[in-house]
Amino acid sequence: MGAPRFLDQGLFAELAEKAAASPRKRQHHNFHAMEEPCHRMAVGLQPETYIPPHRHLSADKAESLLVLKGRLGLLIFDEDGRVTDKRELVAGGDCIGVDLPPGVFHALVVLDPDSLLFECKAGPYRPVGEGEQPAWAPREGEPGAADYLAWMRSLFV
């Protein structure tokens, strides 16, 4: 049996620093072993990170997201890429998170530097697969990703 692991300001600062130094501008800290059935992680996020629209099609891949520090914009899309809902998720605010059922296209925009997210979903990890990345949005690293991120961010100003 392992020792308790805490989500404290020291972890938050470490993740913010590592996210700022990362080329992807985000950093994960797993509280789970990869073979565990429940994956739990803290994610440090900087505004330059691009989390493209995606969905999880497996029936067991519901996803819970809670903002522990900072502010994120959540976008929900229909099959054609139209925004059907948007919410600001703010640590200590009116809405701090979301529980997403499988099959829902969603994306996140980091609105405050050094934001921190707690994520929980079923394991094991599987890369985003066929039908889970839409044709209407660029993938991370593709041409147009920076412009798409700027457009998503503009929905929250």
Provide the whole-model pTM.
Answer: 0.94
pLDDT of residue 155: 98
What is the mean pLDDT of each successive set of 10 residues along the chain, which is 157 residues long?
90 97 97 92 98 95 97 98 98 98 98 98 85 96 97 96
Cα angle at 89 between 85 and 93, to 5 degrees? 130
* DSSP-assigned letter for residue 150: H
Strand order in the sheet with 38-45: 26-30, 38-45, 115-122, 63-69, 97-100
Superfamily of domain 9-127+136-154: Jelly Rolls (2.60.120.10)
> Do residues 123 and 43 lie in contact, with contact meaning Cβ atoms separated by under 8 Å?
no
Reduced to 3 states (helix: H, G, I; strand: E, B; else coil), residue 9 is helix
Cα–Cα distance, 116 to 132 (Å, whole number): 24
